């Protein structure tokens, strides 16, 4: 009783923030305002002074264009923190940005953060510590496929099976959810960044041209497709590996399809593996309800159709798939008690129960 009263009192004295901490992008949801920050998870650091020069979009524009003493880095690799101090700086910057949309309160905000499924206790602790050091009063951690399912309003608490595939920048999470928990899941290191690497390698090998990550991302968005359809093409510029001079070539959709085919095949086969180990009752629910795609990778042309053909199930791309996890974190903040059971327990929670 006292705990509920204390939570209510604290909630009036602080703001609530939901964060989708992604390898490629970080989104921040403010309760009552919606998504107020959607920026790349990139930080530019001055190596001479150790100071942060830019964060987010400003830092991403510096990728591949910085002088030797400034490094544009991604502090998250495969969905987990690889550089603790830089992640802390990045979170503090984004939370400060979000603060412009919030009324001034006495206490630091309560924060719900989405992380990939299957992360270790050490990785979860790193996320909690970085978020607290960035100014949060309380930190709750949730697995991203669960947050995505809540964000697209799937009945996660009911005895009904739902399947979510979250294709982010660093990882793909494939999860079957029922009764407030993840029944079966697999986490893959094949996602948006891996597809970009595939495209860079293919263009280097086939056209003898070196391109950067930003160009690969643009090519993927313009002509990237996993099934044959209307012919698409775009012009790219890079450095000729033979002459060392700039060169321009035309890239078609069939080039990109070939470049990413192996990674897409692994993704599809992993989804099949998850279904093969799913209990029959839940599988029958998934057959009726279909598979839901969230995350930026859900927007790859033809992916929903390819998955549907292979899995023999209806596959739908969620509405606004890029923001589903951040929206899910926001819904959890609306009624924390209702969703407490779906959160990853902290050491403090386990200690208080014992």
Query: Buried b vs exposed e over 306-345: b needs ≥16 C-beta within 10 Å?
Result: bbeeebebebeebeebbbbbbbbbbbbbeebeebeebbbb
116 and 164: one domain?
Answer: no
Q: Give a yes or no: residue 169 inside a domain.
A: yes
The reported pTM is 0.89
Q: Which two tokens stand for residue 223?
A: 């002509």
CATH number at residue 212: 3.90.640.10
- Which residues lie closer than 8 Å to 164 by C-beta, 6 or more apart? 145, 148, 149, 152, 154, 173, 174, 175, 177, 291, 292, 293, 294
Contact 330, 254 (CB under 8 A): no
Alpha-carbon gap, residue 132 to 127, rounded angstroms:
9
230 and 348: one domain?
Answer: no
**Residue 6 pLDDT level (bands cut at 50, 70, 90):** very low
311 and 183: one domain?
Answer: yes
Q: Give a yes or no: residue 253 inside a domain.
A: yes
Of 259, 279, 309, the residue at which a domain comes to its end is: 259
Q: Give a yes or no: residue 153 inside a domain.
A: no
17 and 112: one domain?
Answer: yes
Query: What does the radius of gyration of the chain's CA atoms come to, in whole angstroms?
Result: 21
29 and 107: one domain?
Answer: yes
pLDDT digits (tens, 9 = 90+) for 188-208: 999 999 999 999 999 999 999
Supply the mean pLDDT for the chain: 89
| pLDDT above 70 coverage of the chain, percent | 92
Query: Tokens 């009324």 — which residue?
Result: 103
Q: Which two tokens stand for residue 221?
A: 């968005």
66 and 12: one domain?
Answer: yes
167 and 309: one domain?
Answer: yes
26 and 120: one domain?
Answer: yes
Contact 5, 12 (CB under 8 A): no
| pLDDT above 90 coverage of the chain, percent | 71
**Residue 39 pLDDT level (bands cut at 50, 70, 90):** very high
The pLDDT of residue 346? 65
CA dihedral 36, 87, 92, 321 (to 10 degrees): 10
Residue 281 lies in domain:
159-190+266-318
Q: What is the mean pLDDT of residues 244-269?
A: 96
CATH number at residue 103: 3.30.420.40
Q: Give a yes or no: residue 152 inside a domain.
A: no
Of 228, 259, 290, the residue at which a domain comes to its end is: 259
Q: Give me the number of domains the chain comprises.
A: 3
130 and 222: one domain?
Answer: no
Of 238, 259, 280, the residue at which a domain comes to its end is: 259
């Amino acid at each position: 009783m006292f705990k509920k009263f204390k939570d209510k009192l604290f909630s009036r004295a602080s703001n609530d923030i939901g964060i989708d901490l992604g390898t490629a992008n970080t989104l921040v949801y403010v309760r009552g305002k919606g998504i107020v920050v959607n920026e790349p998870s990139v930080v530019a650091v001055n190596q001479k002074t150790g100071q942060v020069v830019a964060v987010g979009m400003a830092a991403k524009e510096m990728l591949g264009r910085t002088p030797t003493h400034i490094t544009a880095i991604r502090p998250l690799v495969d969905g987990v923190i690889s550089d603790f101090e830089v992640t802390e700086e990045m979170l503090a910057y984004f939370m400060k940005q979000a603060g412009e949309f919030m009324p001034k309160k006495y206490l630091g905000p309560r924060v719900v953060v989405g992380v990939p499924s299957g992360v270790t206790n050490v990785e979860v602790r790193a996320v909690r510590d970085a978020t607290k050091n960035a100014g949060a009063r309380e930190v709750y951690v949730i697995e991203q496929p669960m947050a995505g399912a809540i964000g697209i309003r799937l009945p996660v608490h009911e005895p009904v099976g739902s399947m979510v595939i979250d294709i982010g920048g660093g990882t793909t999470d494939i999860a079957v959810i029922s009764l407030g928990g993840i029944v079966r899941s697999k986490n893959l290191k094949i996602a948006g960044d891996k597809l970009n690497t595939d495209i860079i390698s293919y263009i280097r090998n086939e056209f003898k041209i070196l391109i950067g990550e930003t160009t690969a991302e643009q090519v993927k968005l313009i002509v990237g497709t996993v099934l044959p359809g209307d012919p698409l093409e775009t012009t790219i510029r890079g450095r000729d590996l033979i002459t060392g001079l700039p060169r321009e070539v035309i890239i078609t959709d069939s080039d990109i399809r070939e470049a990413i085919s192996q990674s897409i095949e692994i993704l599809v086969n992993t989804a099949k593996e998850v279904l093969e180990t799913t209990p029959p009752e839940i599988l029958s629910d998934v057959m009726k309800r279909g598979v839901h795609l969230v995350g930026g990778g859900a927007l790859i042309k033809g992916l929903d159709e390819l998955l549907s053909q292979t899995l023999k199930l209806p596959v739908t791309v969620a509405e606004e798939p890029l923001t589903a996890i951040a929206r899910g974190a926001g819904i959890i903040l609306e009624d924390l008690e209702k969703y407490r059971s779906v959160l990853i327990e902290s050491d403090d929670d386990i200690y208080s129960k014992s």
